[in-house]
Structure 1
Amino acid sequence: MMFRTTAIAVAVALTATSALAQQTPPAATATTADARDALAKKEGEGDQSALLKQTLTAVDKQYSLIRTGQIALNYDLSYSYVGEERIVTDIANGNATLFNIENNNSHTVTNTLSADYGLRDNLTTNVTLPLISRYADTAARSGMSNSLGDISAGVRWQPFEARRDTPNLTVVSNVRLPTGRSPFKIIAGTGEATGSGVGALTVGLNVNKIVDPVALFGSLNYTVSAPAKDLWQINGSRILTRVQPGSSFGFGVGFAYALSYGISTTVSFQEAISAGSKLRFADGLEAKTHMQTSGILNLGLGYRISPKTTVNFSVGIGVTPDSPNLVVGMNIPLSL
């Protein structure tokens, strides 16, 4: 994406004004006040800083706070696709024999309603309610599930007063509740999981700085999960009784660029590194999964439909084997 400064726009405006003055008779020459009036923003146009703040709010709501007593409602719609080819082999006498190549595909549509409430000017609480539809197609089975996902609640705190010329810091904390269908309790052929199956706590730090017409932002976070106990899930010839998910570390960087008073674009990258999970089976066997790394490159477009409302569209592309292949999203503020 090309980075253009406002100096280019000013130079073009000055060149056009100079050429116009040379072609206009002295009697019709515009006054300084008239020129200033013509170049001034019209009422309702707002400014690019306001647009960038709204874009940050919609792209990642972790970056903005609302005033005391205010309520902000948002609706997010996202679609994600995961596809993989799995080679089924048999190992005998030290030799691997290829039997088949299985295609496993998963399509997930998530409708999320979220509400933010300003406890104080520098302290905001939020609750999210996801409704998930998931369709999976594998060589062994295929099916669809529609269910509530994992509800989450959190707070965002800004320890220092926001200043235009300095980075703004926000401390975030979020609790995820295992309200969705657990992947550890589903019986084969009865549907797909719509939740993680365990509760989790996330703490993090976000920073953003607006350098008109660009906003820079970044984040760090750490997540720990509670174990899933008292399970009795059949996995092949064994019965799974306990799962302890590994902790994860995540970070993200990106920028938003205001192309005009009504259009902005965003580019960001997010990565999460998760430690392996510990599994325990009824026969006493214990195993551990491998570490996973998920990275997504996000491209977004914000369209300002009113002075206070911006609708955002985004496309995410997975760049690691453990990431979704494609994520498409849309964010609409409900409190218009």
Structure 2
Amino acid sequence: MKFRMLPFAVAAALMATSALAQETQTPATAPAQPTPATADAARDALAKKEGEGDQSALLKQTLTAVDKQYTLIRRNQMQLTYDLSYSYVGEERIVTDIANGNATLFNIENNNSHTVTNTFSADYGVLDNLTANVTLPLISRYADTAARSGMSNSLGDVGVGARWQPFEARRDAPGLTVTSNVRLPTGRSPFKIIAGSGEATGSGVAAATVGLNINKIVDPVALFGSLNFTASLPAKNLWQVNGSRILTRVQPGTSVGFGLGFAYALSYGISTTISFQEAISAGSKLRFADGLEAKTHMQTSGILNMGLGYRVSPKTTVNFSVGIGVTPDSPNLVVGMNLPLSF
């Protein structure tokens, strides 16, 4: 639109200049006319206003808000973030029992799970290239099965992590960030819940994740990708009735995840993102009280995400996202909102 409007502004300036030339030939008693417009004034009027920022800055804010891993905050600065997400899982579960090493079919259950997660996180700039963060999730989960239905509200798994940028960010070079995170089993463990007493709100085990993220801004587009590895500690000293057996120990398998996508700045205030995330988890090892050991199958979870960011102020960009599961082990639907506040 800028290039369409400029000829009209220049034409207006030329007409004003012609009128001024005619006035110089009139008697001195003629009334004074306003200062004529010029081409420079027209360009200034069409230029970006102060405080609007640029698309590169908007893309950096979008990357931070969407994943909180691609850009860092300055030293001694703090950023608080509120995330609200809803996920739905619908599946048919085959209920089996393990006896003498053989699986016996009991029945097929239709399970529906609705989860609302309120996550509060705080980021603090230890150095210009090192950021520490803490996440506190509050989870409400409702499950409905053929046998029972129930709802649980409790704290989820607390996370403590850090992000480190080994090289100074340059406009013509990709940005690189090393991430680490420790997940603490503060939520309700799925291995300790008695049937009918509620739903799990945590993983039940401690886990550590290390990852590598890369992004490059090609104004008005930002490309990003990630790779991470997660290992979990075993859940020991369990005594959970599982069919006709008692579960005593669970060793979750390691997992590898990756993601890629792009963000596009439609304007100084609106941006869009499209990304894909996938996690491949090895099977978990189960041990029962009678000495029997079993192993679950490998799981693959993939989600396609689409987001929209709206810049409500120079420091705040609200992001909305919708995720669709593309593999059987993924949630059917994930809807989220992200609100970062910088100080």
Give 1:70-149 correspondences, 5 Å limit: 70-86=77-93, 102-149=109-156
Deviations 1:124-177 (CA, angstroms, capped at 9, x unpaired): 000000000000000011000001000010010000000011000000000000
Matching residue of 2:100: none
Aligned partner of 1:222: which letter?
F
What 5-or-longer segments of structure 1 have no aligned partner?
Answer: 1-11, 91-97
Answering whether residue 253 of structure 2 is matched by residue 278 of structure 1, we say no
Partner of 2:21: none
Is 1:18 aligned to residue 7 of structure 2?
yes
2: distance between equivalents of 1:102 and 1:235? 16
- AA matched with 1:27: A
Give the distance between the partners of 1:278 and 1:39, measured in 2 at CA. Answer: 65
> What SS is found at the alignment partner of 2:189?
coil
**CA drift at 1:23:** 7.1
Name the CA distance, whole Å, in 2 between partners of 1:293 and 1:216: 24
Counterpart CA distance in 1 for 2:309 and 2:261 is 15
| Identity over aligned pairs, percent | 83
8 Å Cα contact 2:132/2:162 also seen in 1: yes
1:327 corresponds to? 334
Q: How far did residue 50 of structure 1 move?
A: 1.0
- Going from structure 1 to structure 2, the CA distance change for 1:286 and 1:271 (only over 3 Å counts) comes to same
Which residue pairs with 2:178 in the alignment? 171
SS in 2 for 1:227: coil
Residues 182 and 207 of structure 2 are in contact (CA less than 8 Å); yes or no, is this contact kept in structure 1? yes
Q: Deviations over 1:255-275 (max 9, x none)?
A: 110001111000000000000
Q: Deviations over 1:204-231 (max 9, x none)?
A: 1000111111111100000000000110
* Aligned residue identity for 1:333: P
Aligned-residue offset at 1:26: 2.9
* Aligned counterpart for 1:315 among listed residues 298, 313, 322: 322
Partner of residue 22, structure 2? none
**Compared CA separation, residues 178 and 86, structure 1 to 2 (3 A):** closer
Contact 2:270 2:310 in 1 (8 A): yes
Distance 1:62-1:313 versus aligned 2 partners, 3 A rule: same
How far is the alpha carbon of 1:308 from its aligned partner? Answer: 1.2
Q: Which amino acid aligns with 1:26?
A: M
Match of 1:6 in 2: none
1:58 aligns with 2:65: yes
Structure 2: distance between partners of 1:70 and 1:16: 42
Question: 2:29 is matched with which residue?
Answer: none
Which of 149, 158, 170 is matched with 2:165 structurally? 158
Query: Normalising by the residue count of structure 2, what TM-score does the alignment of the two structures yield?
Result: 0.89
Q: CA RMSD in A?
A: 2.0
8 Å Cα contact 2:13-2:39 kept in structure 1: no
The TM-score with structure 1 as length reference comes to 0.90
Show structure 2 runs of 5+ residues with no match.
Answer: 18-35, 98-104
SS at the partner of 2:69?
A: helix
Q: How far off is 1:22 after superposition?
A: 5.0
